[in-house]
Structures are given as structure tokens and as C-alpha cells.
Structure 1
Amino acid sequence: MKKLQILLLIFGVWLKTDAQNIVQYEYWYDSNYGSTTLVNNSSGSTMDLNTSLSGTSGLLPGLHAVNFRAKDTDGKWSSAITEQFYATGNWNIDTYEYWFDDDYANKITNTVTGTQNYILTSNLNTSAVGYGSHALNFRAKDSAGKWSIVFKEFFFKSIGGAQMSNAEYWIDSNYANKQPLTFTSSNIVFINQTLLTANLDDQLHTFNFRMQDQAGKWSVVTSSYFMAHNQIVGYDYWFDADFDHKKATAITPTDLLTTEPDFDTNGLSAGVHVVNFRAKSSSGKYSATIAQNVTVYVTPVFTPIAQSCSGAVLTALPTTSTNGITGTWSPALNNLATTTYTFTPNVGEFALATVDMTVAVGAITTWDGTSWDNGTPTCTSKAIINGNYSEAVNLEACSLEVTG
């Protein structure tokens, strides 16, 4: 039991109350909250737990978690603290590796001196992940070359520095039962998955999270999807009422979908649509459908304008794109030179940006009696004859003007 004594010394820095005494604590292994052990306590407002814990003899070899929380004289429980430990038979642990979210390709592997009781106390390098909610995956290898099962925990990373001090999370729309969190100097805080999923049905749920800076201002809320008792292995989605054209997407099995599902909006008209989303669990069952609005913005599309003859009357440019966006063009039409015009969508249109279109105007070439000053005219050129012309060739031009 030495490994658990060392492990739980870490808890002492957490178990301190300002005004209340700690009267009880409880602990359990992995997600087996039904077999929790409850212990009375009389140490006061601060408790350093350095006793051996019971209940490890029935654990299978491999990576496990011990979860711990305390209750004060008001009957309020603290947040749960979770630490990992590895239960072995006669083999020693010599290697461990970890990675974030589904990025196994960039796993970090470390070797350790062979031991049956190894507690990971070093900080994990989270520099490659952005702020918000993430999954930490961890496994260990013994001297027989066998890897443990993958142990997964979810954590939050703050923006960094001293500006972020607190956070909170809640499930679905149940903000009234939000759970507060406090960032340590590492800017990382873990949550207890057992408490997160307790009393939830095996449907699709949303995990909502936000952070608070030292000025008391809250960040925007980020949300992730999860299923309480199974992994998510895929999802279906469709737009509006068009279920017949739903799209199915398979994903790497995950407990928490930390990235926003990729909804392909190609082919949708500009404007507000309803996307319907349901997740598929590892048991093969689908969750209830979640519907939310999605706004589709498009780039205005126009049919190219054919090259015109210099000086010819230009047809007004269309004020409605082929995909239904209305707007205006600038500058004014110029029938004497090739010009690039900019289309600016009207206010309220669901357009991504302005669009440029170039209208080409043919060149002008003049015959001075001996040669053309701008090259032999073509079907897109305006030809001006300003001198005697007696060439025995066919003359091709979009417009002909004789001045001399």
C-alpha cells in the first residue's frame, strides 16, 4: 500500500477550509462510486491523509484511478480529486506514454526506473494544446512488454499567465448546478468524470465551460458533446427537414467530442438553416436529436462578361448574383478601357465578402496611311482609318471608323 500513502499526501494541500471543519471523507476506485468507502474525521479544518486505503486487492493489474473528496460541518462536499496509480503483478513498470485528444501520432513517451509502484508526479507538457477542454490519454508498459489499457481524463487549460484564475462548467442547460474550478500555477485543472456523468441517461449531452479572469470578466462559453455511459463512435446530421439526405460521419471512439462536428454546408442557400445532429454510441444506438441554427454565408457568383468593343454601349452589371445575393457595383462603367469593378453586398445579405470582376474592353488601333499604331486589328479591336488604305487583305474589327 506504499504507493497509495505517497499518492494521498498530495491531497493534504487541498483539504483545507477557512471556516468549517472536515468531518468525513470518502474515496473510490475508477468509476465504481457504488463501492465508495466513507470515513469519519476529527482533524479540524485541515487534514493530511497519510493512512493506507483499503480495497485495492481486488483491482486487476493495470492503470487505475483513486477518487477522493471531503465533507465539512455544513454537509457540503468538496470537488473530487483524482490521481492515477498502476497496479501490477510481478512485473515492473518501465515506460509510459501520453497524448492529448485523438493526437496519438504526437504522443510523448518516457522511460522510468523499473518499479512496481510508480506515481507520476512530473508535469505533463501541454504546450501543444489550445485553451479550453481536452482529453489526456495515458498508458504504461511493464517489463514484459505489455501495455496497460488507456486511461483517459478530461482537463481544462487556461489561456495562461496569471490573468485566468477561475472556471466553471455545467451539463446541458443545467447552469444552476454548475461546478466551480480554480486554476493552479500550471494553468491546468482536471475534472472527475464519475461525478460528471453521475445520474445522467445515456443520451447526447453538452459539456459547457467558461473561464474568469482576475478582473471578474468571463470568457465566452465553449461546449463539447459526450454520452454518459458509452463512447461516441460517429454521428449523423442533416439540414432543415431533409432527413433523406443525412450524412453519416465515423470518428475515432471518444468519451468527449472536444472538437465541433464538421457540418458540410456546400449546396445550401445563403441564410439561416437548422442542422439536426445525433451521435452514435459504441453500443450501436443513436442519441436523441439535437437541433441548432446555423448561418450559411456564401461568396457572390457572377457570369463573366464577354470582352466589349471600345466605345460600345456596355450592358449594366447585374445587381443580383447567380446565387441570390443583391448589391451594388463600383466604379461607374467605363467603355473605353478594361476596368475591374467591385460588388458590395447589401446590408443584411448573407455574403462572405466583396467580389471583383474585370470587364475587358478591346484596344483601339489607328491606320495612319502606312501602318497600324496599335497592331493589326482583331475581332475585339476598334479600327480607325485616318489615311489612305489599300491593303489587299480582309480587315477584321469589332468597330470601324473612317476619319481620313
Structure 2
Amino acid sequence: MFRPRKDKSNAMKKTLIAFAFLAIGIMTNAQPIITSGEYWFNNDYAGKIHIPLTPGVNVLFNSGIDCSQLNTGMHNISFRFKQSNGIWSAVGSQLFLKVPELTPGGEAICEMEYWINNDYSTRISLPITSTTFYTFQSAIDLNYLSCGIHTFNFRFKQNNGSWSNVTSQLFNKTPPVIAGGGLLKGYEYWIDDDYQSKTSQPITGSSSFVLISELNFASVPTGMHHLNIRFQQADGSWSSTLSEAFIKVPLQSDNRTITAYEYWFDDEYNQRIQQQIEPTANFFFAAPLDVAELSTGLHNLNMRFRQDNGIWSSSATQLFMKQPVNDGNNFLTTYEYWFNTEFENRTIINGINEALYTTNSLINIENSDQFINIFHARFKDLNNTFNYVDHYYYSIDLQIKLMLEGLYSVANGQMRKSQNETGANFNGSIADTVTVEVHEAVAPYNLLVRFYGIELNTDGTCHLQRSGTDFINLPGSQNTLFHLVIKHRNSIETWSQAFEIGPVSTFNFTDSPQKAYGENMVNANGVYLIYAGDVNQDGTID
């Protein structure tokens, strides 16, 4: 839906935005039907809305969606559909702009046109009776399209002759079910992108198969990896590739054992999954990770382990890309990515020939020359069809120096190590951990990203080196100035002065009171410290 506007000063009233959704089917032994759906805005999955549907193999949901509670500006709508076998589709996401409400007499919509993929020459034009709100609901002929991923594009024309921006939506056309093709006759698996070293095994014809086998990972180096597996049907066609992340942890050298682990996606630490394990010096993590609720695109997987002395390891973070679902008879052939407007300097990777391609080891973030970027990626399949993924992306390598009053020793200019009932909370030179936030430096000072558990050394230094797409709020301006916000469980929340953050930056709170917003620090012989004593985090010293 496109709603034109005449004046940015117009008061905002109730706004409705309509989207057309094409559900993605998943091929099984019997063709499933789509029975229900749900959608939500931004990261508010708790506020999801149920989509009432008439069950069917192909469903076109096209209805008014109430956006009256959203602020004017950029937002994200996410949606997914449930099949009769209980399986949910991957989450589809779409950015949209909510504009102020029109005043009476504003420009109206008089025409719409749509086309598939890049074939603008075959576009379909539809005249519209002049209106300021329009819901598109019409049968679309897709019989001539090949199976695979395609793009549905549309735009609207106002009665003053101007056209809206083009809105594009990915969808997947699945092949018809082949009778008798559901029996499995084999499978193959491989680690990371090393398909050439795959292991293949036969299966006696069966419609279902449980893999219970000892997988040898002795030659796999320590760190995060992907286990990829796919199954072949009796008719020779292959399933889509299933890919699961796992971490091979190093051997412990101090006789400590691992007793628990936890992991979470992006910045959603409050939704972490924690698991107790039998104490062991060597632990191999290989478990299914549910990414159904993640949108297509770039994400971070974070994981850490707890020892028998209660100390947690540093978090291991791995960037990965969730790609659109593809059918087993199609393959990706080319992968390209670029940052911001550098399409001419894009990185091109040919010769993929895989249904699922793991890109985590091939994203060169050194091409990013600023803190906040837009990451663009596209994949080409055997049908020479491109699908696109665009995301805001941050790349930060920030050296920070700060001192906490509660731990600072004037005698040696260092911080003491925080303690618990058994001794120091952390090993080595780590004094404590802090939470670091990055806010925009223009009103309303939106929170962009938050990083938990940043290790703070006794000399006051901490190193923040992260990249990802897990923005809490998308950037609302092109301003390059930002505020750092330091939070600690027993200290006053402290904001930095506004300063420019690039991909590599430094900031020292300790050398000047002006480094903190409002000069809100305490002077200890020329070293400026963050106030201590805010036990209940209400902003005042207790």
C-alpha cells in the first residue's frame, strides 16, 4: 500500500498499511496445506497478531493491518505461516515507512502496476478509482514461472502523475509433488563449506529416517562450525540442505570441568537457552538450534560455557546468514555482497552449486568504512533468478578506557578485581564486566545497539569488537555522532559526550570530566571515575 502525503506537518491519524504475502510451501510426502499465520512489528514478537486464513495449498493474504500505534518512520513487519503438519515456514520480513496522515484534499492513488522479477516490460497495469487508500486483491498468474525463488514488484501512481517507490517481496514457487517420490534412499553430510569431503550413506527405502550414528569430528578444529545434511528420495531428487551450528570447545588445561552452557541470537540475551550438563573436561556441542523465528538475513549466534567454579567463559560470537527456503531441484550458483553504495566493488563468489550455502567465513567486513552501513547480498539460482537481502549492519572496533569508583585504588591507579564468596569473579587481569550501549546523538537519542558482558581490565581498558545486524532501533538519521552509555550493577549510568564512531575508534573517560555528559564523574587525583553506589539502578547513589 502506498499512501501519498502532501505536507510533513500534517497531524497523524489512524493509519492502515496493506501487504500481500505469498506463503512458502515445503515439499513432503503428501502436499501440506497452510492453516494459519501470524505477524508482528519490529522485534515485538510478544505482540504478534494471528492471521485468520482459509486453509489451502497456496494462500494470498491481503488485508488492512492496523499500524495506528506505530510512530511515524521506518518499521519492520515480520510474518510466517503454519502448515497442517505443524511445521512453520521461515519468517519473512519487510521494511516499510509509515508517513503522516493525509489532510483532506491531498493527493490520491489512481493506478497500480506490478511485475515479476526484473521483467518490467511485461508489467500489468490496473486503473484505480481515485482513492487515498487501496487494497490490492487479485489473482496473479504464475503458471509460466519456473520453480524457485522469485520477486513480486509493485508500485502506485498518484493523480498528480508521480509514482511511489517500488515495493518488492520474495516468494518461492515449489514444484508439484511427484507420486511415489517420498521414499528415502540415502543421505550425505559435510562440515562447513567442505562439500568435497562429504560422507554419503545409503538408506533402505523408507518414508522416515532417524539418524543415529557416531560422527567423527576429530579432524575438525576448535571453534564454531556447521554440520550440513541432506536426503535423497527414491526418484533421485534431493531435499533442501539442513544446516546446524555447533561449537567444538578446546581442552581445559587447569583440571576444570564444564557444567553448563547457554546461547542466544543477536542481542536477545533475555531469551537465552541454558542447559546443565554432566561435568566434563571436554564437551562437544551439537544440538538443533531453532531459527524459525529469525528473519531471513544476517544474525549473530552467541554462546558461552560455565566451569565447576561458577565462572563463565567469554562469549563466542559467530555471524551467520539465514537464507530463504529453496526447493531440492534448484541450486544457488552465485553469491554477491557489497556495502552501502559500493555495488561496483561488490564481492562475487561463483561456482557454489548448493541448495544451502554457508557464508559466515566469507563476509569481508574490512570493506566497511563506517560504523553503520547497509549490507546488501544477493543469490542467483539455476534459473538465473536473483533474490536479495538488505540489512543495516554495524561494524565496531572500539577501545574504551574507564574506571569504576567502587574498585579503584588511588595507591596504584588500578582497579581491584571484583569478588564473590569464593574469591575473584574473573580470571587473569579482568576486574569486572560492564554493559555498553550506543545511542544516537540527536533527539530522541535512540538506543541503537547494546553489548552485555564487556570485560573490563584492572587498568581500565576494555575492547569492544563486534559486528552484526541486531539493532534495537534502526538508525533514524545520517548523523555520525553517537553517545556511549556505560552501565554497571553497582555504578551510576554514565553517558559520554557525543563523538564520532568509525569502524575503529577509541574513547577515554578517565582523562577529562568533559568526557562524560554533564561532567558526571568523580575526580581521584586527576583520574576521573564513574560514580559507585547505585545498587538498585534507580539513577541515584544509595
Please tell me the TM-score bracket, short chain as reference.
0.3 to 0.5
Q: Which has the higher contact order (CA 8 A, sep 6+)?
A: 2
Structure whose CA Rg is larger = 1
TM-score normalised over the length of structure 2: 0.30
Q: Between Structure 1 and Structure 2, which shows a larger proportion of strand residues?
A: 2
